[in-house]
Structures are given as C-alpha cells and as structure tokens.
C-alpha cells in the first residue's frame, strides 16, 4: 500500500524521490550511454553530460567545478578524505565529534588498527560542538578533524565557520589538520555558504536526502590531496570506478530545485514556512503530558540553532519502538533515529549529549521535507495524542 507523502516523517533517512527529475536524468543518461572515460565520439558525449552536471553542482554550491567529485554517496564522501591520512608519513590522531554519523565515527575508530588514535570531541548537553571543545581535543599530532554541519537526530546546526576559524588561528604557522564537514543533513535543509571558508578542506553530500536517487554523492575538496584508495583514476584520481552518469545528472537537477539560497526565493520561502510550522509543532508536542523535546533547550534557544526539518522528542513510559509501530499502524512513518543504526539498541548521539537511558529509550525522531504539509503535521500531532492517551 503506497505511503501518503503527507504522512511520511522520516525524510532524514531518505527523501521521497522527485520522479520527474529521475525520469529526465535517466533519459539523458540513456542517450549518452557510453563510458565517460572513452575517447571516441560516444564517450565524449557522455563526458560532456557528466561535466555539465558537475558544473551545475558547483554553481549551486558556490565553488569551482574542479572541486566537485562524484562518489557513491555520503559514506564514501566521508571515507575518502579520512582515509587519505593513511598516506601521511607521520602517525598521529584524528578528532571526530561525538555526535558524528557512524560513517565517520565508526570508520575513524577502525583506524586504531593502523596505529592512528581516534579522539572524540565532546558535545554539550544541547548537542552542540563548540570551537573550544575542538581546540581542547586536538593537539600537534592531529591529522584530521570532522564535525558535521547538521545533526541527523536532533537537528542541531553546528558552528562550522567558527570552528574553521578557530582551527586556522590555533595552527597559524604550523601544519593544520584537515577539517572535514559532513553536510548530508544540511543540503537542501539550511543555506550552505561556507565551502570557501579558508579552514574547510572537504565536505560530503548525498543525493537521496534531497529527493535524488540512492547511490550518488559528492565530495568537495578545496584543493588536491593524495588519496589512499586507488583504481582506474576516474574523477581526477579521487574516486576510481566508472562514473554514475544518471546519478550525477539527477543530483545536479535536485540541487538546482532544492538547495536553499537567497537567490532562490521559492526555496527560501519554503524554508521560512517550515520554521513556523516546526515551531508550532514543538509547542503542541510540549503540551502533551509526558513529552519532552531533546534537547530541552530547543524551546528556549533561537530557531537558527536548529534545522526546522528535524525534531527529536521523548514520550514518558512509551518506548520509541512502540510509538513507531503505533504510528505506523495509522499510516504514519517516523523513526527512532538514524536509519543506519535502526537495528542497534544504542543511541550514541543521545548518549554523547548525556541524555538519560530511560529518555533515550522513549525518544522518536520526526523529520520533514518538501512534500510535508501543515495538514500532515497536524495529523501527526493528532495521532501522537491518541497514542499517548492510550498509555495514560
């Protein structure tokens, strides 16, 4: 049975695809069916289509085309710059935020087997990584630092520009660690205008979070670096493997439609609209007996500190999985956290914030997207109230 898009509230896991874009991109890729690396006429046609997609992505992201590399998704875009440190002659450590996505947090931890220590940058109780916390964690041997732009469970918007500036100042005249930013939950959700900050060396993006296809991502690299993974040398040697032309074309079109910027009044207006809807949604949630927003300070702090597309809440005495199944029975889709960790009992991000175990167990994530409506959000609230009433 098809899910009603208005009752889908798991956009942070994956977005409902824009079928018109995917169909158009598929047609274009079928017309340019050759290998983009081939030097004959058909190959050149495919290469031209690929570079057109790259140029379009660079224009939207406000960087140079030569800084854009197509990958298989957000995870690979996180791994490539992280694993590049294995080429470094010196051994050192990496510092990743304690609220990072498993793609970075768990991969960084694996590097211990290669003699590279993984340091966790502590989050405060509201789920923020401060510049001070970063500076207190790094040292002269730190090779790589990673802090995500928007947290996938709480929606907390991290002070990326301040962290980049703090690292630049701390390492002035010395070898600075590479600073990587996971922008997977930021793209199409908040304005991204920091790629050309001097202190940011790389960033990861994923198409399926902004209504594109699964299996295509972007890695932004400020400048060339020696990559650890090797192969046929495609994507300037940064990401080997025959390019996914269909994915690249679709990603470019989704970026043009969904990226938020002042130059796109429609997207900016939708952003402001969602801010208002989410503020009302949180107020109504807090009026429900036993409901708490995580972090609790979200009701006090400025809306600018959080993405309006993600809300984490807990419901006293109702396990998150019970709430999820109860809403699912009503045709409503939500989640209890990252889809990548849905089969795990632990909630590392909430643990890092110091959220008590009982509250972690009863927490649920609501995430919104382009097809979310105010009416749909009201239907969600009504359903939550019904479930809570049955437990009280």
As annotated, the active-site residues are: 340
Q: Which two tokens stand for residue 262?
A: 């002042």
How far, in Å, CA of 327 to CA of 318, rounded?
12
Annotate 87-117 with DSSP letters as a single string. G-SS--EEEEETT--HHHHHHHHHGGGGT-E
Return the closest-CA partner of residue 152 out of 103, 95, 83.
Answer: 103
Instruction: Tally Cβ neighbours within 10 Å of residue 18.
Output: 21
Residues 6+ apart with CB under 8 A from 1: none
CB 248 within 8 A of CB 48: no
Residue with tokens 């050759």: 34
Burial of residue 113 (number of CB atoms within 10 Å: 0-12, 13-18, 19+): exposed
Q: Which two tokens stand for residue 79?
A: 């791994």
Peptide linkage before 315 cis (omega within 30 of 0)? no
């Amino acid at each position: 049975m098809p899910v009603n898009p208005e009752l889908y509230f798991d956009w942070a896991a994956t977005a409902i695809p824009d079928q018109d874009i995917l169909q158009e991109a598929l047609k274009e890729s079928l017309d340019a069916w050759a290998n983009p690396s081939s030097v004959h006429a058909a190959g050149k046609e495919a290469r031209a289509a690929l570079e057109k997609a790259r140029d379009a992505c660079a224009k939207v992201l406000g960087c140079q085309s030569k800084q854009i590399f197509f990958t298989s998704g957000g995870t690979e875009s996180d791994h490539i710059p992280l694993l590049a440190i294995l080429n470094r002659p010196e051994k050192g450590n990496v510092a990743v935020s304690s609220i990072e996505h498993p793609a970075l947090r768990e991969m960084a931890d694996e590097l211990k087997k290669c003699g590279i220590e993984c340091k966790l940058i502590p989050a405060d109780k509201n789920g923020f990584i401060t510049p001070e916390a970063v500076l207190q964690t790094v040292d002269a041997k730190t090779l790589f630092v990673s802090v995500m732009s928007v947290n996938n469970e709480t929606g907390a918007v991290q002070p990326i520009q301040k962290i980049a500036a703090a690292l630049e100042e701390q390492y002035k005249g010395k070898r600075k660690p590479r600073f990587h930013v996971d922008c997977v939950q930021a793209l199409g959700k908040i304005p991204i205008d920091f790629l050309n900050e001097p202190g940011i060396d790389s960033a990861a993006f994923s198409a399926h979070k902004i209504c594109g296809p699964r299996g295509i991502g972007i890695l932004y690299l400020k400048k060339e670096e020696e990559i650890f993974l090797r192969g046929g040398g495609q994507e300037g040697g940064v990401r080997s493997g025959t390019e996914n032309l269909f994915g690249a074309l679709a990603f470019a079109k989704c970026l043009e439609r969904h990226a938020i910027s002042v130059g796109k009044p429609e997207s900016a207006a939708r952003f402001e609209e969602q801010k208002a809807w989410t503020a009302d949604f949180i107020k109504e949630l807090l009026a429900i007996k036993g409901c708490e927003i995580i972090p609790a300070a979200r009701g006090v702090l400025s809306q600018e500190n959080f993405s309006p597309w993600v809300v984490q809440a807990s419901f006293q005495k109702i396990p998150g999985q019970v709430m999820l199944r109860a809403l699912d029975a009503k045709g409503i889709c939500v989640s209890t956290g990252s889809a990548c960790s849905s089969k795990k009992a632990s909630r590392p991000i909430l643990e890092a914030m110091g959220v008590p175990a009982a509250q972690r167990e009863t927490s649920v994530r609501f995430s919104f997207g382009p097809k979310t409506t105010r009416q749909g959000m009201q239907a969600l609230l009504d359903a939550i109230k019904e479930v809570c009433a049955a437990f009280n």
